[in-house]
Structure 1
Amino acid sequence: MTRYLVTTFRTPAFQARVVEQHYAFLDQLREQGKLELAGPFADKSGGAYLIKAASLEEARNLAFADPVHLTGSSVVTVYEWNAV
């Protein structure tokens, strides 16, 4: 499994109600053993999370199922990350 860094940056269309759904989504990833780390940025502009996936395509599929992406509340970007 490879690690992927997912960043989420709030858009002008951000919906505060989606935060609870986003956290539930992250809990599901954690239960599946795919989420390593997650948290918001201190300036409240968004956040990031680290997931494990077999490919970039799988990582994108996971990240783009995030409610913050589906509602247009955040721009979600996935990076393959070679953490040391």
Structure 2
Amino acid sequence: MKYFAVFLPIIDTEKSRIYRPQHLEFLENKRREGKIFANGRFTDGSGGLVIYKAESSDEVLELVRQDPYVAEGARGYEIHEWEMSPV
């Protein structure tokens, strides 16, 4: 299993407000499926970050495109494979 950090910068503030409930429901569903390691918003209001667990970047891209924020044009996305350092 690999980890992927997905930045979700705001494109449209109003759409972000409108689609927030659907986005949060989407994240909760993916968390229950074991697809999300962590997520949260940036305190400067610029967007948020989701760290997905997946087998490939193609799998993550498919998940990201299902997120209502992305599907409805509220947020952009940037995907990076992330290697967690041992503590």
User: Shared fold (TM-score greater than 0.5)?
Assistant: yes
Q: Aligned runs of 1:37-76 on 2, under 5 Å?
A: 37-76=38-77
Q: Measure how far apart 1:63 and its partner are.
A: 1.1
Q: Aligned runs of 1:20-39 on 2, under 5 Å?
A: 20-39=21-40
More helix by share: 2
Q: Counterpart of 2:4?
A: 4
TM-score scaled to structure 1, two decimals? Answer: 0.94
1:27 is paired with a residue of what secondary structure? helix
C-alpha RMSD over aligned residues: 1.1
1:17 is paired with a residue of what secondary structure? helix
Q: Hey, what's the Cα distance between the residues in 2 that align with 1:29 and 1:61?
A: 12
Runs of 4+, deviation exceeding 6 Å: none
Number of equivalenced pairs: 84
More strand by share: 1
Q: Hey, what's the Cα distance between the residues in 1 that align with 2:62 and 2:79?
A: 10
8 Å CA contact retained: 1:14, 1:74: no
Q: Measure how far apart 1:19 and its partner are.
A: 0.6
Q: Hey, what's the Cα distance between the residues in 2 that align with 1:37 and 1:48?
A: 8
For structure 2, the residue ranges without an aligned partner over 5 or more in a row are none
2:48 is paired with a residue of what secondary structure? strand
For structure 1, the residue ranges without an aligned partner over 5 or more in a row are none
8 Å CA contact retained: 2:12, 2:73: no
**Matching residue's letter, 1:5:** A
